[in-house]
Amino acid sequence: GADVITYEGPDARNTALLYVFNEAIALGEVSVLTDSFAHREDSEPLPLRHQYDESALMGAALGITVISASGDSARPDIPCTSAYVVCVGGTSLTMLGGNVVSETAWESSGSGDAKTFDRPQWQMGIVPNNKRATVDLALHADPGNGYWIRRFGQWESYGGTSFAAPVFAGMVAVINSYRIANGDPVVGLLSPMVYTDPAIRATFRDVTLGGTDLFNAKKGWDYPTGWGAPRAKKLADALP
């Protein structure tokens, strides 16, 4: 039942994607904005990185929860390294009969320290270095047990954080509806609350196994999975 607005540009080049990102935020039509394009931060020009960050800041000021896929290279991506973006990494989830059998960090979950942006205040005492650290949370992304989609008349299976990010955006959209029905404002900028409120952190299913070639999952926050996998109803009830 959600109203979904899609923004698109003329091609998949970095400038075109940036313009689309800017317009989607500036129009201010949505309470949740998710993008599944990602570029390795170390390959993008510095002015472009800063423009993503400034646009995401505007989104936060407008009360938009800006969500991005962390990428599938096991390295940091832009716009995910902006502190004003909820950076969604990947896990490998196995379920049986609606119950979680196992969940591990996906080996390609884009993650690590930003090259451009300093550590935000709300990550102090949690992340090991002085740069913005990603990711913030994670959801299933393993293409070995992928998401089924209908494409050109055929069923096909895909994976990647490009699926994890919109899944979380759907959760936030539902949480926003729940909050509005209870007379509360929409979620807005989420990451600072997740890092600073123990009750909110406790709503995530911690992922402690698996990892990338650089970082392993562990108890509490870690690079490949952040605080772990969100549980929507618990998160909705814990948010102030």
Q: What are phi and psi for residue 17, nearest 5 degrees?
A: -65, -40
Closest by CA to 36, choosing from 144, 207, 160, 203, is 160
Specify the amino acid at residue 38.
Answer: A
pLDDT at 30: 96
Model's pTM, two decimal places? 0.96
pLDDT at 204: 98
pLDDT at 152: 95
Whether the upstream peptide bond of residue 135 has omega within 30° of 0, thus cis, is yes
pLDDT in tens, 49-79: 999 999 999 999 999 999 999 999 999 999 9
In the predicted structure, residue 187 carries a pLDDT above the cut 90: yes
In the predicted structure, residue 39 carries a pLDDT above the cut 90: no
Tell me the mean pLDDT in the region 168-174.
97
pLDDT in tens, 208-233: 999 999 999 999 999 999 999 999 99
pLDDT at 78: 95
Question: Can you tell me the distance from the alpha carbon of 240 to that of 196, in angstroms, rounded to the nearest whole number?
Answer: 12
Tell me the mean pLDDT in the region 126-130.
97
Question: Can you tell me the distance from the alpha carbon of 57 to that of 162, in angstroms, rounded to the nearest whole number?
Answer: 22
pLDDT in tens, 88-123: 999 999 999 989 999 999 999 999 999 999 999 999
C-alpha 88, offset from chain centre: 2
Percent of the chain having pLDDT more than 90? 95
Tell me the mean pLDDT in the region 13-41.
93
3-class state of residue 152 by DSSP: coil
Question: Can you tell me the distance from the alpha carbon of 101 to that of 145, in angstroms, rounded to the nearest whole number?
Answer: 14
Tell me the mean pLDDT in the region 164-178.
97
pLDDT in tens, 138-161: 999 999 999 999 999 999 999 999
Average pLDDT across the chain, whole number: 96
The token pair that represents 175 in the structure block: 């949480």
> How do beta strands 147-151 and 154-158 pair?
antiparallel
